[in-house]
Amino acid sequence: MTMATTLMKVLGLLGVAAGAIAVDRHFNLVSSAAGMLAPGPAAMANNAKPAAAAIRTVRVVAPKAAAGRFGLTLSGRTAPIEQARLSGRATGVVSERRGEIGDRVKAGDVLVVIDAPEIRQQLDRARAAVQQVKARLQLAEQTLDRAQELVPKKFLPEQARDDREASVAIAKADLAAAQAEVRRLEEVQGFQTIRAPFDGVIIERQVERGDRVTGDFGATGTFFYNVARLEQLRIEIDVPQSFALKVTPGTPAKFTFAEILDRQFDAQVVRTSRSIDQTSGTMRAELVMANSDFSLPAGLSGQVILDVERDTPCVLVPGNALVVRQGEQFAAVVGADQKIAFRKVRVGRDLGAEAEVCAGLTLEDRVVLSPNALLKPGDQVEVAKPVSALP
């Protein structure tokens, strides 16, 4: 036997031995894994018993008392305290136009003059008619005086005297009618001059010199001037139904504008419509604000902060302490027995980070923060370190 043959036999025996060792190790690994997967007697005994429910840990917060008065913020827009759109009742041509937008005017100032020659002619004719009727009346009275003297002397029949008395009465009636026509035409002539009805500012103009206007000029929605009083401004707001009973005449307010951040303007509610609009569910209210320096224009939008008194005490809780279930709002409260109870609450105002709760919670309650969706009434919980009351 050569050395090469002997070496090959030795290598073959070593390979067989290594294979047997690998198979044995694989069998042991499989047996161990099977043993780990197969439940032992102790594990089977534990599975036979129901698992105890885990006690959840919750964080709670104490509600904070809300102030007795609060600021109700609503959108509003300024408007003139009074304004008038001036139009004419005379037909003619505009001969004079006095005033431009922004001009301040006094009550009685002439703004527009309308030239109407036909009205002057009608007035002259009416005045002449008055003189004619006066002459007829004078003649009728003189004739009656003569009849009064001749009838007793039997120179005239009584019928003639009666006719003269009737003539006097008719002449007096004609005179009254003629004078009334003169007054009417004088009034019409007065319509040719358009005057400012009060002290104010011209905010619109729709007339030019030479324009032809008719007596129904204002019926078409057009006008000569729009004059407004701006020393006071009227503010119109729409109050939601939930606060309608709290906003009454005399309620103080502040008015702020995005364009004037460093200043607040005092205002006061002067009237309410006392009616809830069925479409919007709001009540119209009007406030009055002083503007003696004319610093604010009409039509400016801003925020009205009404100083409203509460009719019921409310508390403040974090907004994440409330949950909605079946369309209603609830708060989870931990009782003295460390069990969960869900209370239906009535939210007054949503303040963003906080919510104003006016029914359902008290200052002594422990309200759960961010209640878990799996929490149910009656669940036993453990309270974590209490969170301090809201700042």
Quick: pLDDT tens for 292-333.
989 899 999 999 999 887 777 888 888 888 888 888 888 888
Boundaries of CATH 2.40.50.100 in the chain? 85-114+192-225
User: Any residues with CB less than 8 A from the CB of 173 and at least 6 apart, and which?
Assistant: none
In angstroms, the CA 102 to CA 95 distance is 22
Residue 230: phi and psi, rounded to 5, are -120, 5
Confidence band (pLDDT; 50, 70, 90) for 72? confident
Write down the pLDDT at residue 351. Answer: 78
Write down the pLDDT at residue 343. Answer: 87
The CATH number for 60-68+313-383, chosen from 3.40.50.10320, 2.30.38.10, 2.60.120.260, 2.40.420.20, is: 2.40.420.20
Boundaries of CATH 1.10.287 in the chain? 117-190
- Give the strand pairing for 64-65 and 92-97: unpaired
CATH code: domain 233-309 is 2.40.30.170
% pLDDT > 70, the chain: 83
Instruction: Please identify which residue in the block is written with the tokens 């007065």.
Output: 190
Mean pLDDT (whole number) for 193-207:
93
Q: Which two tokens stand for residue 28?
A: 């042991």
> 45-58, pLDDT tens digit by residue?
455 444 455 788 88
> 108-123, pLDDT tens digit by residue?
999 999 988 888 888 8
Boundaries of CATH 2.40.420.20 in the chain? 60-68+313-383
In angstroms, the CA 172 to CA 179 distance is 11
Q: Is 160's pLDDT higher than 60?
A: yes
Decide: residue 365, CB within 10 A, 0-12 exposed, 13-18 middle, 19+ buried: buried
Architecture of 117-190 per CATH? Orthogonal Bundle (1.10)
Q: Which two tokens stand for residue 329?
A: 């709002």
Write down the pLDDT at residue 76. Answer: 92
Measured over the CA atoms of residue 320, residue 321, residue 322 and residue 325, the dihedral's sign is positive
Q: Distances from the Cα of 195 to the Cαs of 11, 73, 80, 109, 208, in angstroms?
A: 131, 41, 19, 5, 16
% pLDDT > 90, the chain: 32
Q: Is 80's pLDDT higher than 70?
A: yes
Q: Is 85-114+192-225 a domain of CATH 2.40.50.100?
A: yes
> 253-294, pLDDT tens digit by residue?
999 998 888 889 999 999 999 999 989 999 999 999 999 989
Boundaries of CATH 2.40.30.170 in the chain? 233-309
Q: Is 26's pLDDT higher than 50?
A: no
Range of lowest pLDDT (65-69, 331-335, 337-341): 65-69
Q: Is 175's pLDDT higher than 60?
A: yes
Residue-wise DSSP of 155-215: SS-HHHHHHHHHHHHHHHHHHHHHHHHHHHHHHHHHTTEEE-SSSEEEEEE---TT-EE-T
User: Any residues with CB less than 8 A from the CB of 113 and at least 6 apart, and which?
Assistant: 94, 95, 96, 192, 193, 194
Give counts: helices (H), strands (E), the chain. Answer: 4, 23
Q: Is 170's pLDDT higher than 70?
A: yes
> 28-42, pLDDT tens digit by residue?
433 444 444 445 444
Confidence band (pLDDT; 50, 70, 90) for 386? low
